[in-house]
Amino acid sequence: MDVSKDQPHMTAGLDLGDNYSYLCLIDTVSGEVIEEGRLPTTPETFRRRFASEQPMRIAVEAGTHSPWASRVLEECGHDEVLVANARKLRLIYANKQKTDQIDAENLARLARLDPKLLYPLKHRGEDSQAHMAIIRSREALVGARTQLINHVRGAVKSFGARLPKCPARSFHKRAPEHIPEALRPALEPILEQIASLTEGIRQYDRKLETLCQEHYPETQLLPRSRGLDRLQRSPSCSPWKIPTASKRAAA
């Protein structure tokens, strides 16, 4: 394999697990495996392991830990950190002998052969990740509220009654007068939780509106809607940057 002077001498594949990650280090020129092993999936461990290494190309798979892991590795001086698009890695997922060790080696060999085979993604910064966490937390509250509303409606139907149609945000106000007396002890605490979730969702909406104004001014050009809708339609708040076709062609 012809390796340019600018190419790192070592290539690493790092299969990120929830508790432990598996590392495979190979020689970029010969393709020989130099080191294999596992290490705890923590920022401190990664810093201890990679801070003293010469700059190398490191491939990790996109997932829960890849945002912070890629940032830590870059802080350690490894500028060429490739976040592999998991949906595109058929070599890994089609392997019947799939193990974490094999995944790490496959990541390393793909990165050594041609980084484009990884269809690499680029995580956005920590601030954008924190903003996405607000969106997802709001979605979690909405999902919980929907489940509780469906529970209340189902319980009332089982007693031969029905609740009127109304927006979810006003359900806790409209429903009580239509609930059969026998069900009140069971459902009133649920209605209180629905009211609390609705207030929490309103608070997230206010936070997202502020984020739109302060960090994503381009959202003000979109049709008037809630801060959440505008943020979700803004490419700036996407959790990753995916290189465009023209950029990939120029790479």
CATH code of residue 52: 3.30.420.10
At which of 123, 143, 178 does a domain end? 123
Tokens representing 188 are 């009133």
Confirm whether 246 is domain-assigned.
no
Q: Which of 90-99, 177-186, 197-206, 225-234 has the lowest mean pLDDT?
A: 225-234
| Pair (114, 18) in one structural domain | yes
**71 pLDDT band (50/70/90 cuts)?**
very high
Under 8 Å between Cβ of 181 and 191: no
> Range of 153's domain?
126-241
| Pair (68, 161) in one structural domain | no
Residue 229, burial from CB neighbour count under 10 angstroms (0-12, 13-18, 19+): middle
Q: Which of 4-13, 22-31, 132-141, 200-209 has the lowest mean pLDDT?
A: 4-13
pTM: 0.72
Q: How many C-beta atoms surround the C-beta of residue 72 within 10 A? A: 20
**88 pLDDT band (50/70/90 cuts)?**
confident
What confidence score (pLDDT) does residue 26 get? Answer: 96
| Pair (105, 143) in one structural domain | no
Q: Which of 64-73, 109-118, 148-157, 213-222 has the lowest mean pLDDT?
A: 213-222
| Pair (77, 166) in one structural domain | no
Q: What is the mean pLDDT of residues 160-176?
A: 95
Q: How many C-beta atoms surround the C-beta of residue 149 within 10 A? A: 20
What confidence score (pLDDT) does residue 4 get? Answer: 53
For residue 54, the 8-state DSSP code is P
What's the number of domains the chain is made of?
2
